[in-house]
Amino acid sequence: MGVVQVSQASLGRVAHERKRASAGRPSRPLSRLLLVMMLLASIGTAGAFIAIAPESAQASTLDATGVSLKFKQANRVPVVTGATGRTAGDLMKYTSVATINGTVIDAVVRTAEITGATVTKFDEGSAVTSPPPGSSQSVDDLLLTDISGSAAEARATLEFTFYEGGTYTGPGSGVPVTLSNVIINTYDIDGNAGVKQFTDFRGFQSYNYFTASPTQGLDVIDKGSGLVRFQSRDGSTNVGATSGSYSFARLQVNYDQVSTLTVRIGELGSQTAYYALDFSAGGIWTTNGTTALTPSTAVNPFNTPPTTSDITTFYAAQGTGYAFRSADFPYSDLDRNPFSSLTIVSLPASGAGSLQYDGGTGWAPATAGQPISTSDLDLGRLRLIPTAAGGSFAFSVNDGLDDSSTSTLAFTAPISAQTITFPTQPTQSGSTSHTFASGATASSGLPPVLESQTPGVCTVSGLDITTLALPVGTMTATCVVTATQAGDSDFGRAASVTQQFPVSNLLAQTITFTDPGDRTFSSSTITTDAQTTAPARSVTLASSTPSVCTISGTSIVPVSPGLCSVRATQAGDATYSPASPVSRAFTLAKIPQTITFVQPGTQPIDATGMSVSPATSATGLSASVASTTTSVCTVSGSSVTLHSTGLCTLVASQSGDATRAAATSVARSFRVLAVTTTSLDQGDVGTAYSQTLTEAGGIGGGTWSVAGALPAGLSLDAATGVLSGTPTAAFSGRLVVGYTENGATHTRDLGLSIRAATTVTATGSTAAPSAASLPASNAPTDGGLAGTGIDASWPLLIGASLLTVGAISFWIARRRRPSSALRGE
Domain residue limits, the chain: 60-299, 311-412, 420-504, 511-584, 595-669, 676-755
Q: What pLDDT, on a 0 to 100 scale, did the predictor assign at position 341?
A: 94
Dihedral of alpha carbons 368, 370, 374, 375, sign: negative
Residue-wise burial string across 38-49, b where 16 or more C-beta atoms lie within 10 A, e elsewhere: bbbbbbbbbbbb
Q: Using an 8 Å Cβ cutoff, are 93 and 76 in contact?
A: yes
Cα–Cα distance for residue pair 590/484, rounded to 1 Å: 34
Helix (H, G, I), strand (E, B) or coil at 68: coil
Burial class of residue 649 in the structure, from the number of CB atoms within 10 Å of its CB (0-12 exposed, 13-18 middle, 19+ buried): middle
| Annotation: CATH topology of 676-755 | Immunoglobulin-like (2.60.40)
Please give the backbone phi and psi of residue 345, each rounded to the nearest 5 degrees, phi first. -75, -45
Q: Count other Cβ atoms within 10 Å, centred on residue 423.
A: 12
Q: Domain 311-412: state its class.
A: mainly beta
- What is the identity of the amino acid at 746? H
Helix (H, G, I), strand (E, B) or coil at 57: coil
| Annotation: CATH topology of 60-299 | Major cell-surface adhesin PAc (2.60.530)
Q: What pLDDT, on a 0 to 100 scale, did the predictor assign at position 578?
A: 86
Cα–Cα distance for residue pair 791/793, rounded to 1 Å: 7
Cα–Cα distance for residue pair 46/149, rounded to 1 Å: 6
Q: What pLDDT, on a 0 to 100 scale, did the predictor assign at position 471?
A: 82
> HSE of 782 in the Cβ direction (CA atoms, 13 Å)?
0
Q: Using an 8 Å Cβ cutoff, are 24 and 341 in contact?
A: no
- What is the identity of the amino acid at 280? S
- Which parts of 93-224 fold into alpha helices (H)? none
For the chain, counts of helices (H) and of strands (E):
2, 67
Residues 6 or more apart whose CB falls under 8 angstroms from that of 362 comprise: none
Cα–Cα distance for residue pair 398/368, rounded to 1 Å: 15
Burial class of residue 604 in the structure, from the number of CB atoms within 10 Å of its CB (0-12 exposed, 13-18 middle, 19+ buried): buried
Q: Using an 8 Å Cβ cutoff, are 128 and 144 in contact?
A: yes
Residues 6 or more apart whose CB falls under 8 angstroms from that of 788 comprise: 776
Q: What pLDDT, on a 0 to 100 scale, did the predictor assign at position 781?
A: 53
Q: What radius of gyration, in Å, describes the C-alpha atoms of the chain?
A: 48
Q: Which of 540, 541, 557, 537 is nearest to 549 (CA)?
A: 557
Q: Count other Cβ atoms within 10 Å, centred on residue 63.
A: 21
Q: Using an 8 Å Cβ cutoff, are 631 and 699 in contact?
A: no
Q: Which of 418, 438, 384 is nearest to 489 (CA)?
A: 418
Please give the backbone phi and psi of residue 326, each rounded to the nearest 5 degrees, phi first. -60, -30
DSSP 8-class letter at 327: G
Q: Which of 397, 179, 235, 217 is nearest to 298 (CA)?
A: 217
Burial class of residue 89 in the structure, from the number of CB atoms within 10 Å of its CB (0-12 exposed, 13-18 middle, 19+ buried): exposed
Q: How many residues does the chain have?
A: 825
CATH 2.60.40.10 fits 420-504, yes or no: yes
pTM value > 0.85: no
**Which parts of the chain register pLDDT below 70?**
1-59, 758-825
Cα–Cα distance for residue pair 207/297, rounded to 1 Å: 6
Helix (H, G, I), strand (E, B) or coil at 170: coil
Cα–Cα distance for residue pair 711/720, rounded to 1 Å: 19
Cα–Cα distance for residue pair 139/608, rounded to 1 Å: 79
User: Tens digits of per-residue pLDDT, 520-551?
Assistant: 999 899 999 999 999 999 999 999 899 999 99
Cα–Cα distance for residue pair 510/534, rounded to 1 Å: 7
Residues 6 or more apart whose CB falls under 8 angstroms from that of 614 comprise: 595, 596, 597, 598, 623, 625, 652, 666
Helix (H, G, I), strand (E, B) or coil at 19: helix
Look at phi and psi of residue 333 and say left if phi exceeds 0, alpha if psi is from -120 to 50, else beta.
Answer: beta
Going through 87-205 in order, the beta strands assigned E by DSSP cover 91-100, 103-115, 117-122, 143-149, 154-164, 177-187, 191-192, 195-202
> HSE of 573 in the Cβ direction (CA atoms, 13 Å)?
7
Cα–Cα distance for residue pair 449/493, rounded to 1 Å: 12
Cα–Cα distance for residue pair 424/802, rounded to 1 Å: 128
- What is the identity of the amino acid at 3? V
Cα–Cα distance for residue pair 628/631, rounded to 1 Å: 9
Q: Does 60-299 match 420-504 in CATH topology?
A: no
Q: What pLDDT, on a 0 to 100 scale, did the predictor assign at position 80?
A: 86
Helix (H, G, I), strand (E, B) or coil at 16: helix
Strand order from edge to edge, sheet including 540-543: 519-520, 582-589, 562-569, 540-543
Look at phi and psi of residue 321 and say left if phi exceeds 0, alpha if psi is from -120 to 50, else beta.
Answer: left
Helix (H, G, I), strand (E, B) or coil at 376: helix
Which residues are registered as beta bridge partners of 371? 343
Q: Using an 8 Å Cβ cutoff, are 644 and 631 in contact?
A: yes
Q: Count other Cβ atoms within 10 Å, centred on residue 310.
A: 13
Q: Which of 157, 158, 156, 160 is nearest to 168 (CA)?
A: 160
Q: Using an 8 Å Cβ cutoff, are 85 and 111 in contact?
A: yes
The CA–CA distances, whole Å, from 525 to 522, 658, 660 equal 8, 18, 18
Helix (H, G, I), strand (E, B) or coil at 97: strand
Please give the backbone phi and psi of residue 20, each rounded to the nearest 5 degrees, phi first. -70, -25
Q: Which of 282, 198, 278, 201 is nearest to 246 (CA)?
A: 282
The kind and range of the H/E element at 558 are strand 555-558
Largest Cα–Cα distance of the chain, in whole Å? 168
Strand order from edge to edge, sheet including 382-386: 322-323, 382-386, 353-358, 363-365
